[in-house]
Amino acid sequence: MSGAYLLVMLFAMVLGGGATLLVKWAFSHYSKVRVASGLTGAQAAHQMLELAGVRGVRIERSDRGHLSDHYDPRGRVIRLSDAVYDRPSVAALGVACHEAGHAIQHARHYAPLVVRNAFVPVANIGSQFSFILILAGLLLGAAQGAGLGVIVAVIGIALFGTVVLFQMINLIPEFDASARAKRVLLETGMVSREEASGVNRVLTAAAMTYLAATIIAIIQLLYWVMVIFGNRR
């Protein structure tokens, strides 16, 4: 394993770890700040859906543990963790309404979300097999020289490229869902202007985890492109 790859992985660990720590800190801090409206996360999400005219979306308690909040488009269900579902905190309302934002996107066939969902099967294949093919190609190239090894490695890079593209597209609905949540919470008075700044910090921290993952994936893709095509010179 080259020193350059170790540096890439070290950077990835620092960037990813920093983003994770930031979102945990923001959520923990603003989970202790009660909203004046007294609404819980589930109630705020319900109100946001009602205001958008979206019907038929259930809001349930998640059994996956801390920060497991998500929207399931197949069952049209928003699942909220214990720290969000029935808590009247700034963090709870921000996270719950972010997930409600995804439900609204789904109901309105928001184009970036449709495109992202279409990429899921290909991206899943890419995440499972890309590195196997890249490493197999490098080993074949080392054993037999250029030719089959390069072809296999390039296929692996192409598959990993679908993962990177998926993550880049995914940023659009994630940022949009947060923007919807911030706007509705403030405009409806579910949070005050002061509380809205806390919502912004929580959702911005969460967005940074997606952005960090995308940056890491792009850097890894560029590294493997340079390794494969650099070896052909």
Residue 99: active-site member: yes
From the list 60, 99, 174, 187, the catalytic residue is: 99
CA atoms within 13 A on the CB side of 70: 11
pLDDT tier for residue 232 given thresholds of 50, 70 and 90: low
- Helix, strand, coil percentages in the chain from 3-state DSSP, rounded to 5: 75, 5, 20
Range in 31-35, 95-99, 117-121 the model is least confident about: 117-121
Query: Tens of pLDDT along 33-42?
Result: 999 999 999 9
Give yes or no for residue 231 having a pLDDT over 60. no
Q: Are 83 and 66 in contact (CB under 8 A)?
A: yes
pLDDT tier for residue 64 given thresholds of 50, 70 and 90: confident
pLDDT at 141: 75
CA atoms within 13 A on the CB side of 157: 20
pLDDT tier for residue 58 given thresholds of 50, 70 and 90: very high
- Rounded CA-CA distance 100/203 in Å is 13
Query: Tens of pLDDT along 200-220?
Result: 999 999 999 999 999 989 988
Alpha-helical runs (H) found in 31-89: 41-52, 82-85
User: What Rg, from alpha-carbon coordinates, does the chain have?
Assistant: 21
| Mean per-residue pLDDT of the chain | 92
Query: Tens of pLDDT along 128-141?
Result: 999 999 999 988 87
- Rounded CA-CA distance 36/191 in Å is 7
The residue ranges of every structural domain in the chain are 3-230
